[in-house]
Structure 1
Amino acid sequence: MDRCVRISIAASILILAVALVIGWQDHQRLTLSRERNARAVSRAAGLGVSTVSLDGKATRLVTKRDRETSNEAGKQEVAELFDLLKDADAAEEQSETDKKFEKAMERLILLGPEAAELLIRQVLADKELKRENKEGILGFMLSKLCEEKPQAVLHLLPDLSGISADEKEDLHIRDTLLGMSLTNWGTKDPRATGKWMRENAARFPNAINDSTKVGVLAGAARNDPALALAQIDEMEIADKEQAITVITRSAKTAEARTATLSALRDYFSRLPDGDAKTGGMTKAIRVLVGSAFQEGYDSGTRWLETSNLDSSEMAIAGSAIEYHHTHKDTARWLDWLGKNLPAGNAGEPIGRIMTKWTELDYQEAGKWLATAPAGAARSVSVQAYAAAVSRYEPDTAVQWAMTLPAGKDRDATLRQIHQNWPKEQEAARNAFAKEHGIE
């Protein structure tokens, strides 16, 4: 039967993996945690188990007897859920099966990690559940446990052989679960995760590789970028450049970028001078500022102005900005670059962005240029604009070039216009060259 609840375990895991990559799981986890917490508090109150209020005060101490009572309640919940799953599995009518699985799923979502682990072991041991239903249940529960208690999944790995009808798929499932669990565990405790990987590398040679290790560091970097960087050597990652890039890309907010920048400065300060040190820091800064640029002009410039970039770092930032970052605020960005980049470093990015803007919308670029205040940004922009329009409107380009002060910049712009002058206008081109002494 083709039932929507009968999803393969591999597909279940893949769905969650994709969700984690795009960030959807963060929102989902918050929603489910709130629901689970509300339910847990309600049940705990009924059992007399201590709960903590918003002010952080517990109603009473949790005793050993309380914990035993709570554990018994969890076991009872697992037993009830397992009976529900068995009942749904045994149903003959598709509509009845789907309805029962849906009812069970509502409770599975709210199941805590300890109870989830217990249920997984019970499902694994069962010999009567239909294979497709068993795969679907395990796929959902294992994916959930990867997120909530990844260490438990690592302990379960030896018991996961034979859960599908294909040995290769079993291996793929195991390696996928291993990678997801390590990444999630690394977010919380990268040192313990690294230790586990070192101790178990021989058992899982295909799964515990540089890619997995870098994934762990990406998760760790969201909480502690300095610790993540320190773990690169401890985890014996061969491609250090890739690891640093991934750690840097984990900084998605202004606060995270600032913390990561500080960690990067400290990390690279400990390396010997050389290309690896200089090039590595340059690449890392380009990644950080690229993230800031993507947030738009107001947020991006605010971070650049408050992150205490030194002159060399600010020059790197300028070299990283592109027209697709500035877009609707290109005029504001050009002015900011002219005022904030070190002397001698503003020309290249301003000229590059102005050239692209002119190519895509020369009229809007020209309107801004006509009202732009005098300064470094306008001077470089005039040169770029004149060079760009000279290919199809050389006379207009000449007019703009002549607004530049007499000197090497104007002379260089006039020579560029002459070089770009349309070939079919040879007489006008020659007259222009003669007028301005261009040979």
Structure 2
Amino acid sequence: MKTDSKYLLNDDIPSLLKQIALPASTGMFFNTMYNVVDIFYAGQISTQAISALSLSFMIFFMVTGLGYGFSAAITALIGNASGRSKKFLASLYAHKGILFMQLLALVLTAIGLLLAPFMLKVLGASDDYLQLGLDYINVILAGTIFFMTNYAFNAILVSKGDTKSYRNTLIVGFFANLILNPLFLYGFGPIPAMGIAGLAFATVVIQFMNSIYMLYKVLQTKLVHFNNLKYFYPNKKIYKDLLVQGFPSSSNIMIMSFGSMLLIYFVSLYGVKAVAGFGIGMRVEQLMLLPALGLSSAVLTLVSNNFGAKKYDRVKLILDKGLKYGFIISTFGIVFLYIFGKLIISQFDDDLAVINYGLEYTLVAVWIFYAYVTLFLCVSTLQGIKRPKMIFYIALYRQIVAKFIIAYAIVVIFNLDYIYLWIGVLVMIYSAAIFAYFYTKKLLTAYTI
């Protein structure tokens, strides 16, 4: 692994995008397949268990999603410092970022355990449905510290252009999940049958194992060491930088989580089978979005380093090339899911109503791919140039304000069919993506004039 990040400032941009994005996308593929395995085994319990898993995932994403926002901040701050050749400052961000994320995990675990029952009830869960959700989410919340620690470790590695290490943990985690899920679900020998809680327990065990490997890789970067433990201690200025840089992105994730919960509330008005179909369709959709997420990681790494080095022309080129590749990949994803979408969805549940709900969602959602690519890459660019404030407002518009107005109008006022909900969401997300693109381009133009 390269410990000197100068190659990020000088190598060919298309080659760098592929070099960083491909491992990230591969890792995300296995991460999504990991979730698909969870859904498959939940389906072995019942359709209601799939729905409970979908509801629990919304809470899980809201809690741990903050980790994604602050990990992006750590990557951007280390990348900018490295681009300016301030190695000591980069090291401080790395050390203190790790403890920051662990402290954040403790707070979020406590809040999550306290609010989970209320949130599941708001989303429509009750009786056995509610208990299934709590059985899963309570175990996941108890392991939040391992998720957050891994996010911090990965942020450090991504700042150096290393997306392969995290990819490796996700690949190993997928295969480990194939073994541990049935083991903890059904029990074996002295291991008791845990039911849906076993799926969560398997995830926590895998995250713990991954953290050991990720620590080993982080130590190889030389950014982190244990020579002086004071490097890890909280520091007001560093924490302020993390909060200023990370709060808009973390708020974005939080708003996305609330937006997802808001959306699933309106979906639940169509029934439990609609929730199950939506949960399956969303996972299938994510499979095709993985390359775009990998590209967003690459864009964040390259933009933060090149912006720190004041190579503004390269920053603009990174965004343009990223969008080009993202649109090509999106076209492939649309064609693929139109051909194989129903076949894939039917593997998770044999209930025709569930399959139809999942298919209706997927066949509309695929046309949002171009907008998602634009949003992902613009958000990464804004993060990389240390101008993240607008990320919050874009998220507030598309995840809460516009989403509520559209969903309430379609589902409650006009009582339209399920598919029209997703058509409304499509229009709303495209409006946000168009604004994000022109806003980001305007900022980049100002730096190159």
TM-score over 0.5 for the pair = no
Normalized against structure 1, the TM-score is what? 0.26
Larger RCO of the pair (alpha carbons < 8 Å, separation 6+) = 2
Normalized against structure 2, the TM-score is what? 0.26
Which structure has the highest helix share of the two? 2
